[in-house]
Structure 1
Amino acid sequence: MRALLFILTIMFVGLSACKTKRDTPNSITAPTLEKGESFFNVNNDSAFYYFNLVATSATDSLEIAIAYTYMGIIQAYEGDQYGGQESLLKSLTYLNENKEQDRECISSNYHELGNVCLNLKNYKAAVEYYYKGLQFMESPITKNIALNNIALTYQKNGEYDKAIELYTSLLTKNADRKKEYARVLSNYARTKWLKNPTYPAGKELRQALQIRLDSNDNRGLNASYAHLSDYYTNTKPDSALYFAEKRYAVAQLNNSTDDQIEALSKLISLSPPKLLKPYFVRYQFLSDSLQAAKNAAKNQFALIRFETLQLQKDNAQKEVQLVEQQYILVLTIFFFIAISTAIIIWYRKRQQQIKAASIQAIQENQLKTSQKVHDVVANGLYRIMTDVEHNDDIDKELLIDKIEDLYEKSRDISYDKPINPNIPFDQKIDELLTSFSSDNTRVLMVGHSAATWERTHEVAQYEVEHILQELMVNMKKHSQASNVVLKFERQQDRIHIHYTDDGIGFSPQVKYGNGWQNTENRIHKIQGEYTFEHPTKGLKIHISFPIAYSS
């Protein structure tokens, strides 16, 4: 018996169960699915055509999956095993194991894939698919059928012990179901005989045959006659021939070409020479017809798919052309509106950009001015206050000159004139740093000379001056330091300034004010870097910048 013919009925029941488990009775929205079902197993070419339409045009994933499952069954039944396998695997991609309404279809797909692999003699894959399908089966009947097919696969693969174990369990489960019991009993006896040719399987095989005769189970009779013919081939050739003839008659009654060919093959091997010719002629005719039918079916299925795709392509092109015409009309209407809107938006944005640029320029100028006021006036005034505080014998004329110089610098800020006294830069730094020295605070400079500043840009000098001034002002205001050391070095085309004091220091979490933010901006402006160190006492700051700074 061909397992494929048997499972066809089971698959039809499984697919019906898929549909009955849908969420609503109206879930089949594509009439072509029902149309295909009306042709299924009656005119499979037409059924395949309608199922293919559903698979390529439906929007419901379950409808698409059912269509591909039907197509896979039809292809496998018509002999296109690989085509059927492809369609069944495609069906699984549209199903979700977590959805209750999909589970029946999933089990059907896996079970039919097991049958396809069994027919292709890929026994390992067949068992895996059968067991996957078994996980989604709920009916005891369908579970027993799946287990019977697993046992049959083990039998064909020569794993007789595994097959016998399953058949023994199934005999108990199917004791009240005559047809199922007969099938299991016949397969059980055949497997025991295949494992041990001396096993007396005749009694059990004849018992299964009698049950099938009483039940008018023609498909089951085909299997029983085949098993009995094989069993008696070597021991009772006459009996083997008798059962082979009975099988051929049942196969003709069932209109099964595959079973007729197998029966004829057995008759050719058992019949007397004078009877061989009619059997051989019929065998050759059926074999050629079956092969031609399978080839035609494969070509027909491929042609149906091609024509469907071509039709969909033509319809899609027509739809695209219609949509393009509509788009052209709509675009023509909105084109000038879009252009006009774009010009208006661009004009408004341009006005906003001009206004924003003006505001930014004003803000930058204000920031620049406030920075100069802080650096020149505030820090300069603080230096004068420091001199007055720590120098009891200060020269009044010198004090007036410093205040007047500060006044002139503040006037220069209002006119945006560059503040660049014509004195050497190293001397300017010396005066700046020593001005913060007092009886309570000693300021020391190490490595500072005119050579330190050779080839440095005047912009860098200007920024360094105000960086050092901000450091010294902060030291004077907050550090309570007794000793301040500034070390200057030139290394690898960079100038390094090391600031160290023995004051109270400050926490690393301290938030810096505007003064240090200005200083940080100045360091970055001359492409410099800085680091803070927080020893147990005091503060260490390292500042470096490239000699070859370019403005």
Structure 2
Amino acid sequence: MNDSSDVANCLINMANIQFDHGDFYGAQEMALSALNYLKGVNKKSNNLLSFAYNTIANASDELSQFEDAIRYYALAIQYCKEDNVKLKYKNNLSVSLRYAKRYKEAIQLSEDNLRNAPKNSKDYARILNNLARVKFAASASYNPLGDYWIAMKIRKDKDDFWGLNSSYASLSQYYGEMHMDSALYYAEKQYTIAKELKSPDDQINALKRLIEYNKNSQKQYFTKFLALNDSIQQARSAAKNQFALIRYEVEKNKADNLRLEKENVEKQSRLVRQRAITGASIFLLLLAVGGGALWYKRRKQRLELEAQNRVKETQLHLSKKVHDVVANDIYHVMTEVEYRDDLDREVLLDKLEIIYNQSRDISHNVEQRPTVEVPYNEQISTLLKPYGSNIRRISIVGIDAEQWSDVSKRIKEEIKHVLQEFMVNMKKHSGAERVVVRIEKSDQQLKIFYKDNGVGLPAERPQGKGMANTVSRIESLGGGIIFVSEPGEGLSITVNIPLI
């Protein structure tokens, strides 16, 4: 929607996902790219700038780039307009100052944060615990236990399990220098709660202390440490590869969409031209038919009623023949040209000549006569196979030459038209990838089974002229036809024709 702040918001969310999966460099890169979309000065962009800088700072902190983390936390605080969020950012900054060993600044900031935090709140406990840690880091003579106990009590009262995890880590680290039993006790507490929180990094830290403090179970804890550490590294490596693949696929899809849009424009242009040509042709055809009909009417005024009936009968007959013979044969040749790379030019010309002779014979309203007598099973195979392609498979079963020996010429001719109509409708409307045609003869009955895996027959689409002709043909032979169409199951057609 050309809204740059929404773009930035998406990029920041993506950066946080990468951060949660341990892809810290990727999180930095993604959050930095969001800054390019946040050049306006308004409340929304300021909030997003604050989120982006905090994400960059968090990733820098995890990568031990503490000076960078300090710089970006300061920017996050500068743009943040919500006091409770700003307090969290300031506490993050204090932690990074401690890691950078800038203890004086860290202590001053933590004390200021503590004055602004609500008493006995989770934020208060977090800031107090951090203040005690930085004071102890700055001076080994400082005793942080009182502050640690207060922070831990608040966290227990608030059911702040993440906070308790931090308290146990602080106490275990403190006692590690003087009381090994206490250090081991709090390391085990941290490991238990870290497992409940499903925090692998905190489990790793607790296991390191357990390996150091518990000499009797070092092997057991070291085995767990190795397994968990390997699992974390594999997961983070997989996440990095996954995100790279996602970005690649997105860019590829964009390129494909642009190409498809261009092709659609070209197709629309061709369609407009084709419609113009078709419209002009229809107009000329209607003009010619109209002129001929008027001339014929004037010439045959005395026999007007009889002539009109003959014209209607002739039109129906010729329309059926044009559809069954010329139109379907032309469509058959078009299908061969479209899908066959090894098409023989001479064979194509012969087929076109046959179609020409057929259309000429129709114009004189005479019966067609095949130019070359070809075995009927080969005629069926030649008729159906061209409708197959690289994406469509046509399977034909039961067209052996011997089973057609006692079938009348009329039935064979009608079957050809019926099968061709099935193929034409399948190619035009079904979108099928697999088509099966099976022909059986038993008990003086000829059965044709057709099945495809296309879209089937929509209930709202009326039956076309071709399918109506097909039903008429089967019924004229004394047979029956059944259509079965179910959503997702394609189309099934069963034809029964008596041979007696």
Shorter-chain TM-score bucket reads: 0.5 to 0.7
User: Per the alignment, in what secondary structure is the counterpart of residue 80 of structure 2?
Assistant: coil
Q: Cα distance, 1:59 vs. partner?
A: 3.0
Aligned with 1:169 (options 112, 115, 123)? 112
Maintained 8 Å contact 1:218/1:250: yes
Residue 289 (structure 1) aligned to one of 231, 236, 258: 231
1:366-417 deviation digits (Å, cap 9, x = unpaired): xxxxxxxxxxxxxxxxxxxxxxxxxxxxxxxxxxxxxxxxxxxxxxxxxxxx
TM alignment of 1:292-331, pairs within 5 A? 292-326=234-268
Residue aligning to 1:182: 125
SS in 1 for 2:37: coil
**1:213 maps to which residue?**
156
In 2: Cα distance, 1:330 partner to 1:105 partner: 48
Q: Distance in 2 between matches of 1:176 and 1:213?
A: 15
Counterparts of 1:65-144 in structure 2, within 5 Å, are 65-144=8-87
C-alpha separation between the residues in 1 aligned to 2:221 and 2:198? 17
2:27–2:55 Cα contact (<8 Å) kept: no
- Report the Cα distance in structure 1 between the residues aligned to 2:138 and 2:176, rounded to whole angstroms: 16
Counterpart AA for 2:204: I
- SS of the residue corresponding to residue 121 of structure 1 reads coil
Contact 2:133 2:170 in 1 (8 A): yes
**Which structure 2 residues correspond to residues 61-460 of structure 1 after superposition, within 5 A?**
61-272=4-215, 274-326=216-268
Distance change in 2, residues 1:131/1:208 (3 Å): same
**How much does 1:148 deviate?**
0.5
Query: Residues 109-161 of structure 1, C-alpha deviation per residue, up to 9 Å, x if partnerless?
Result: 11111111111111121111111111221221111111111110000011111
* Number of residue equivalences: 276
Say if 2:174 and 2:183, in contact at 8 Å, map to a contact too.
Answer: yes
Answer yes or no: is the 8 Å Cα contact 2:207–2:222 preserved in 1.
Answer: yes
Local SS of the residue matching 2:61: helix
In 1: Cα distance, 2:127 partner to 2:217 partner: 34
Q: Which residue of 2 aligns with 1:404?
A: none
Aligned residue runs from structure 1 range 490-505, under 5 A: none
Query: 1:459 aligns to what?
Result: none
Alpha-carbon distance between aligned partners in 2 of 1:330 and 1:85, rounded to the nearest angstrom: 51
1:329 Cα deviation from its structure 2 partner: 8.1
Distance (Å, rounded) in 1 between the aligned partners of 2:273 and 2:68: 57
Q: Give the direction of change, closer, same or farther, for the CA distance of 1:332–1:213 in structure 2 (3 Å limit).
A: same
How does 1:510-549 map onto structure 2 within 5 Å? none
Report the AA paired with residue 217 of structure 1.
D
* Contact 1:170/1:184, CA 8 A, preserved across alignment: yes
SS in structure 2 at match of 1:93? helix
1:151-188 Cα distance to aligned partner (Å, 9 max, x none)? 10000011111100011111111142521111111111
One-letter amino acid of the counterpart of residue 209, structure 1: M
CA shift, 1:235, in A, is 1.0
Q: What is the distance in 1 between the residues matched to 2:270 and 2:77?
A: 56
Cα distance in 2 for partners of 1:178, 1:248 equals: 24
CA distance 1:331–1:198, shift in 2 (3 Å): farther
Are the aligned partners of 1:72 and 1:88 in contact in 2 as well (CA < 8 Å)?
yes
Query: Which digits, 9 at most, give the CA deviation of each residue in 1:16-55, with x for residues without a partner?
Result: xxxxxxxxxxxxxxxxxxxxxxxxxxxxxxxxxxxxxxxx
Q: 1:124 to 1:331 in 2, by over 3 A?
A: farther
Which digits, 9 at most, give the CA deviation of each residue in 1:57-86, with x for residues without a partner? Answer: x53222211111110000111111111111
CA distance in 1, matches of 2:29, 2:169: 32
Checking the alignment, whether the CA contact within 8 Å between 2:18 and 2:26 is kept in structure 1 is: yes
Alignment CA distance shift 1:215-1:311 (3 Å): same
CA separation in 1, counterparts of 2:44 and 2:252? 33
Q: Higher RCO, 1 or 2 (CA under 8 Å, sep at least 6)?
A: 1
Q: In structure 2, how many angstroms separate the alpha carbons of the residues matched to 1:160 and 1:296?
A: 38
In the TM superposition, residue 328 of structure 1 has moved relative to its aligned partner by: 7.2
Question: Does the residue aligned with 2:208 lie in a helix, a strand or coil?
Answer: helix
- Alpha-carbon distance, 1:332 to partner: 12
8 Å Cα contact 1:237-1:270 kept in structure 2: yes
Distance 1:61-1:208 versus aligned 2 partners, 3 A rule: same
Q: When the two structures are superposed, what TM-score results if normalisation uses the length of structure 2?
A: 0.53
Contact persistence 2:132–2:147 (CA under 8 A): yes
Conserved 8 A contact 1:248-1:259 = yes
Unaligned runs of 5+ residues in structure 1 are 1-57, 334-551
Amino acid at match of 2:107: I
- Structure 1 residue 200, shift from structure 2 partner: 0.9
Counterpart residue type for residue 207 of structure 1:
I
Structure 2 CA distance for aligned equivalents of residues 194 and 114 of structure 1:
22
Q: Deviations over 1:282-305 (max 9, x none)?
A: 111110000000011011111111
Separation of aligned partners in 2, 1:122 and 1:93: 23
Structure 2 unaligned blocks of 5 or more: 276-500
In structure 2, C-alpha distance between the alignment counterparts of 1:81 and 1:325, rounded to whole Å: 46
CA distance in 2, matches of 1:321, 1:239: 73
Question: In 1, are the aligned partners of 2:117 and 2:124 still within 8 Å (CA)?
Answer: yes
Match of 1:338 in 2: none
CA contact 1:97–1:106 (8 Å) conserved in 2: no
Equivalence for 1:547 = none
Cα distance in 1 for residues equivalent to 2:5 and 2:171: 44
Q: CA deviation at 1:217?
A: 0.6
| CA RMSD, 1 decimal | 2.1
Distance 1:196 1:153, change over 3 A: same
TM-score by length of 1: 0.48
1:102 is displaced (CA, Å) by 1.7
Query: Are the aligned partners of 1:68 and 1:90 in contact in 2 as well (CA < 8 Å)?
Result: yes
How many Å apart are 1:331 and its aligned residue? Answer: 11
User: Could you tell me whether the CA contact under 8 Å between 1:126 and 1:153 is conserved in 2?
Assistant: yes
